[in-house]
Structure 1
Amino acid sequence: MAGAFGFKGCQKIRGPQIRSLLEAKDFFLFDCDGVIWHGEKAITGAAKVVNALIRQGKNVVFVTNNCTRPRENYVHKFCRLGFTDVMLEQIFSSSYCSALYLRDVVKVRGQVFVIGCDGLRRELLEAGIPCVEEADDPDATIYNCALAPDVKAVLVGHDDKLTFLKLAKASCYLRDPDCLFLATDNDPWHPLSGGRILPGSGSLTAALEVASGRKATVIGKPSRFMFECISSQFRGVDPAQCLMVGDRLEVDMLFGSNCGLDTMLTLTGVSQIEEAQEYRNSDLSTNHSLVPDYVVDTIADFLPAFEELEEQSN
C-alpha cells in the first residue's frame, strides 16, 4: 500500500496523504508509551484521534511491550487519560501474550518461574498458569535456598525488584533442557525524565542468557506472535489493511516489517527521523526493515484529515 502512495521510505506525510491512508486502512495498531502517552500524561490530541478512529468503525488495537500491569489496569488508564472508547479486548500487552503463549501454544504443564512485576504474575494467574511462590528468608542464598519442583518454564519481564538470588534460581531451572526460556520482550531500556534511563526486560534477559548459555524465545515486539494473538481474536485481519504506529525503530518498525504491515513512526518518543534515514541509507539490507513507511511529528497530525473526511460526509 505504501508504494501506491508514492512516498514510501521514511517520508513525512501530511493532510491529503494522511487522509488517503486513513481511508485505505481498516486496522490501526498503536504502541502506547511515547505514542499515546508519556507516563501519566496523554500526548496532545491522541485521545481525539483514537476515539475518532473507533467511532468511524476502524479496528484499533494497542500493542505494548510494557508487562508491568495487567490489561484491566490499562483500561483504567486509558479512561483516566480521556480515551473513553477503549475496551479490554483491544489491549495486547507482552504479559497478556506471554500468558496466551504458555497456555495455548506450548500448553505448559507445571509451574512457571517469573522474573517480573506483580502485573505479569496476575496476567499469568488469570490464564490459569501456576507461578512459583517466592518465600525465601531475607538471608537466603543460592547455596541454601529451596528450588521449586516441576518448573517447566522461566519467564523474564521487567523486574524493579530483581535480586541476584532470582537470577541464580532461574539459571538453575534452565539447566534442565526441557524447561522453556521465555522473555516478555527484549527492550533494552526506557527513557525517564531528566535524561535518565530505566533498564528494560531485554537487559535482564541478556544477563540470564549469559548465565544459562541459552537464548530466550521473545514473545513481545518485534516477534510475530503478538500479531498472531491479534489475528486469533479479531476475524479477517489482513496485514495489507493494517498500519503499525510506534516510536521505536528497532521494536515497532521491525515488528511491522516482520508481520507484513505498513509502518508509521511518530516523533514523540524514542527514535527520531535522522536515525530512520541512516537505516534507509545503510548498505546492510537488514537495516531496511527498521525504516518506517511514513513519519509524522505526532499522531495528532491525523486530526485535520478527520475534519476533511467529516466535511466530505456532510
Structure 2
Amino acid sequence: MLSWLLELAKTSSKTFEAISSEGSENQVMAKVTPRHILKLSREEKRKFIDSFDQIYSDCDGVLWTLMDPIKDSGAAVKLLKNEGKKITFVTNNSIRSEKGYLEQFKQAGIETDIDNLVHPHKSILLYLKKIEFKGLIYVIGMTRLKTILKEAGFEVIDGPNELIEENFAVLMMKIFEKYPVKAVVIDVDFNLSALKLMKADQFLRKDDCILISGATDMTLPVGKFGTIMGPGPFLKVLEEAAGKKAKVVGKPGKELAELIMQDESIKDSKRVLFIGDMLEQDVKFGRKCGFQTLLTLTGGTTSADLLKATDPELIPDYYADSLGDFIEFFGSLECKNSLLVIKDSFLFSKNSTIKMPERKLKNILELTRDEKRDFINSFDTVLCDCDGVMWELTGPIRGSGDGANSLQEAGKDIYFVTNNSNNTDEVYIKKFMDIGFELDLNHIIHPVRTMISYLKKQHFNGVIYCITAKAVENALKKAGFRVLSGPREESKDILQFLDDILDDEPVRAVIIDFDVTISNAKLARAQLYLKNPDCLLIAGATDKTIPLRKDVSVIGPGYYIDILSEVSGKKPIVLGKPGHELGHIVRETCGIKDPKRALFIGDALEQDIGFGMKCGFQTLSVLSGISSKADVEEHHAEHGAPNYYANSISDFVKFFKEV
C-alpha cells in the first residue's frame, strides 16, 4: 500500500512548495469555527461524508490511549471503510514495534497491515534513501531505530551510554570525538542525556552535517499517568545550539508532508481527511498538506484547548468527542451499507468495543424472584477464583465455604481457577477443608497444572528454565521434566554476574510465574536462553499486582513477563488467567460445550472478569478482594461486564433462601 514511498528518489511529481501554493488559501485564512460532526444537519452530514475519499489518521489518542483501545474506535474505522474510504495511519510514535502495532490494531478491532502505517523510524529511513545519503550517522534514539538503519546498510554510531565521573577531562574525552559524522538523527530516546546532546552538537557544528528529526512532540501521553517529556524540547536545544533547522520527517514536518504527498492515489488534497487528537502535530500537519481536518477529544487536546486556539493552522474543520461518534453519525444518515455493518455480528467480536444496549449492573440479592430463577437456571458450571473470593492471605473470607456449598447443592458443577501456584495440592486441600468445603483435586486449575498439561500435550522433552516458586519447580520435576533455576544469590561484581548468567544448557523453554526471589541475573539468563528461536516463553500468572490484603498489594510477575517478551521479541504462551491458551484448557477440562452456560466468579477485573469475557462466560464480581464497587461499575460501563456482582460469594446462601 505504501510501496510508493520507496520510489521517492526517482519521483519528480509535485513538491511541497507546489502543494503550499495550491493550498495557499489554507495558509492565510480567517479563523475557522470547527463544527461537531454530530451537530451537522442531515444534509451537511451527507455533504461532509461525500467530500473525501481518503483518510489519514493518527493512532495514539484516536484509536487507543497507551495500551487500551478507545471505545468504538475499531467499529468506526470499519464503518468508514465500508463507505469506501481508504485509511492510512500516520503516527509519531516509534516506541511500539511494528509487530506491537499489529497487535494493538487487532486489539482495537481494526484489520490492516503494516504497509498502511507511517511512523518516524520508517520515514527517517525513507528520507535517507530519498536524498541518497552516504556517510556516518549519529543516532539519539531507541535501539529499534538503530537496528532498522543498520539493516538498511547505513553506518551508525551512538552513545555515550554509561555514567561518567563529574570531571571535565573525562567529559571532554567522551564528547570530542573525531568521527566523520554526516547526519545526526534524533527521535524518542528514554535514555537521552546531556552528554548525548553535547556530542551531537559537536558533530552538527560541521557545515556538512545535517540534522534529521522524527517525532517533535513536546510531551508524550502515557494514558492515565498523564504525559512525560517528549523529544521536542531536546530537538530545540540542538537546533538553537547548532544554528540548524532539522529536516522533520514526523508530524507536522514539511519533509513528511512531501513524502505523504508523493502518494499517487492523492489526486486532490482537498478530498483527503486527516484525523488526529493534537493541534500542533495533527491539525497543523493536515493543513500543511491541504487536507480537511478532524480533531478527536480523546487524546492530547481538550475542548478548552480547542476553544483557546487562535492560530488558523491549529484549528480543525471538524471535531468529535471520539472517533466512535461516527457510529451515531452513520446511524442518523441511515446509510444502507453502514447500517448493515452496524448490525453485522462481526462488529461484536472479542476485539470490538461496541456493545448491544447494556443491562444495568445488578447485585444478585437485588434481583426479583423471577430474575433470580432465570439467573440460576442460566448456568450449569461455576468457575471460581480462590484468592480474594474464598480467602485472603490472613485467613478465610467469612461464609465463603457456605456460599460454594450452596451452589454445589443447587446442582452446579464447581471448578476453582486460580493464578496462585505457590500452594501445593496438599495445601489447597487443607485450605478448602478449613472453610468447610470438600475439594476434588480434579476440580482445581492453577498455572503449574496447566503448564504440565500444555507441555505434555506438546510432547515437550527439552530442558526448562524456571523463574518460579519452588513449588512449581518441584511439581515440574515430579511430572518428569528436567528443570533448571537460579541464580539465587546476589552478584558481587560484573565478573560474577556474567559467570552467573552464562551457560551452555540446551534450554528449550523459559517458564516465568510469581517468584519472590526474581532478580536481574535471572532475567538476564532467561534472555540468553530465549535468543534460541526454538526456546519457548511460557507464563503462568500475569498479574501486575499481587494482593496481600484488600488494601495491600505487591508487584506481581506481569511486569517481568513484559520485560522478557520485549527483549526476546517473543509473545508469551500464557497458561494463567486471562490467557487464551488457558481458556482452551478450562473448556476441555470442565467439559464446557456452551460457554454461555458457565459462570465465572472472581474479584480481579483484568484476570478474572477479563478471562471470563474472553471465554464467553457469564461473569460475576465479588467485592471481597481487590476490586471496589466503583471499580466494578466503571469496568461494567466500559466493557459491559461483569454481568452481576455480589458483596461476597457467601451472598449465595441468602440468594437461595429467597429463591
Equivalent pairs: percent with the same residue?
Answer: 31
Corresponding residue for residue 76 of structure 1: 103
Between 152-161 and 94-103, report the one with greater CA deviation: 94-103
Q: Which of residues 30, 33, 37 in structure 1 aligns to 2:64?
A: 37
Q: Which of residues 143, 165, 184 in structure 1 aligns to 2:172?
A: 143
CA deviations over 1:176-233 (Å, ceiling 9, x no partner) = 1110111113211123355642111101112222332333222211123333323334
CA shift for structure 1 position 131: 1.7
Q: Which of residues 53, 56, 63 in structure 1 aligns to 2:80?
A: 53
5 Å-filtered alignment, 1:149-160, equals: 149-160=179-190
1:23 correspondence with 2:47: no
Between 179-188 and 229-238, report the one with greater CA deviation: 229-238
- Within 2, Cα distance between the matches of 1:194 and 1:243? 29
Between 42-51 and 221-230, report the one with greater CA deviation: 221-230
Q: Which of residues 319, 324, 329 in structure 2 aligns to 1:300?
A: 324
Cα 1:235–1:192 shift into 2, 3 Å: closer
Between 23-32 and 209-218, report the one with greater CA deviation: 209-218
Letter in 1 for 2:312: H
- Within 1, Cα distance between the matches of 2:221 and 2:183? 30
5 Å-filtered alignment, 1:45-194, equals: 45-83=72-110, 85-104=111-130, 106-134=131-159, 138-139=163-164, 141-145=170-174, 147=177, 149-193=179-223
Higher relative contact order (CA 8 A, sep 6+): 1
- Within 1, Cα distance between the matches of 2:265 and 2:281? 25
- Within 2, Cα distance between the matches of 1:66 and 1:94? 7
1:13 correspondence with 2:13: no
Corresponding residue for residue 239 of structure 1: 269
Q: Which of residues 260, 269, 273 in structure 1 aligns to 2:299?
A: 269
Aligned residues of 2:66 and 2:222 also touching (Cα < 8 A): no
CA shift for structure 1 position 24: 2.4
1:258 correspondence with 2:283: no
CA shift for structure 1 position 149: 2.7
State the secondary structure of the residue aligned to 1:9: coil
Aligned residues of 2:65 and 2:223 also touching (Cα < 8 A): no
Aligned residues of 1:13 and 1:296 also touching (Cα < 8 A): yes
Aligned residues of 1:186 and 1:202 also touching (Cα < 8 A): yes
- Within 1, Cα distance between the matches of 2:120 and 2:248? 9
- Within 2, Cα distance between the matches of 1:126 and 1:46? 34
Aligned residues of 2:211 and 2:247 also touching (Cα < 8 A): yes
Larger Rg: 2
Aligned residues of 1:95 and 1:120 also touching (Cα < 8 A): yes
Letter in 1 for 2:129: R
- Within 2, Cα distance between the matches of 1:290 and 1:207? 24
- Within 1, Cα distance between the matches of 2:221 and 2:267? 32
- Within 2, Cα distance between the matches of 1:178 and 1:300? 48
Aligned residues of 1:113 and 1:132 also touching (Cα < 8 A): yes
Aligned residues of 1:182 and 1:218 also touching (Cα < 8 A): yes
State the secondary structure of the residue aligned to 1:131: strand
CA deviations over 1:282-308 (Å, ceiling 9, x no partner) = 4xxxx1111110011111011133442
Cα 1:126–1:68 shift into 2, 3 Å: farther
Cα 1:138–1:311 shift into 2, 3 Å: closer
Q: Which of residues 290, 297, 300 in structure 1 aligns to 2:314?
A: 290
CA deviations over 1:226-275 (Å, ceiling 9, x no partner) = 33323334534421111111111122111111111111111111112333
Q: CA RMSD in A?
A: 2.6
- Within 2, Cα distance between the matches of 1:99 and 1:148? 25
State the secondary structure of the residue aligned to 1:292: coil
Letter in 1 for 2:316: P
- Within 2, Cα distance between the matches of 1:211 and 1:94? 23
State the secondary structure of the residue aligned to 2:293: strand
- Within 2, Cα distance between the matches of 1:62 and 1:123? 20
Between 119-128 and 266-275, report the one with greater CA deviation: 119-128
Structure 2 unmatched runs, 5+: 1-25, 27-31, 341-659
CA shift for structure 1 position 127: 3.7
State the secondary structure of the residue aligned to 2:233: helix
Between 188-197 and 242-251, report the one with greater CA deviation: 188-197
- Within 1, Cα distance between the matches of 2:171 and 2:151? 30
Aligned residues of 2:89 and 2:117 also touching (Cα < 8 A): yes
- Within 1, Cα distance between the matches of 2:226 and 2:328? 35
- Within 1, Cα distance between the matches of 2:129 and 2:151? 11
* Count of residues in Structure 1 that have an aligned counterpart in Structure 2: 300
State the secondary structure of the residue aligned to 1:65: coil
CA shift for structure 1 position 162: 1.0
Corresponding residue for residue 359 of structure 2: none
TM-score (norm 1): 0.85
Corresponding residue for residue 596 of structure 2: none
Letter in 2 for 1:87: D
Cα 1:57–1:142 shift into 2, 3 Å: farther
Structure 1 unmatched runs, 5+: none
Q: Which of residues 238, 244, 264 in structure 2 aligns to 1:208?
A: 238
CA shift for structure 1 position 96: 1.2
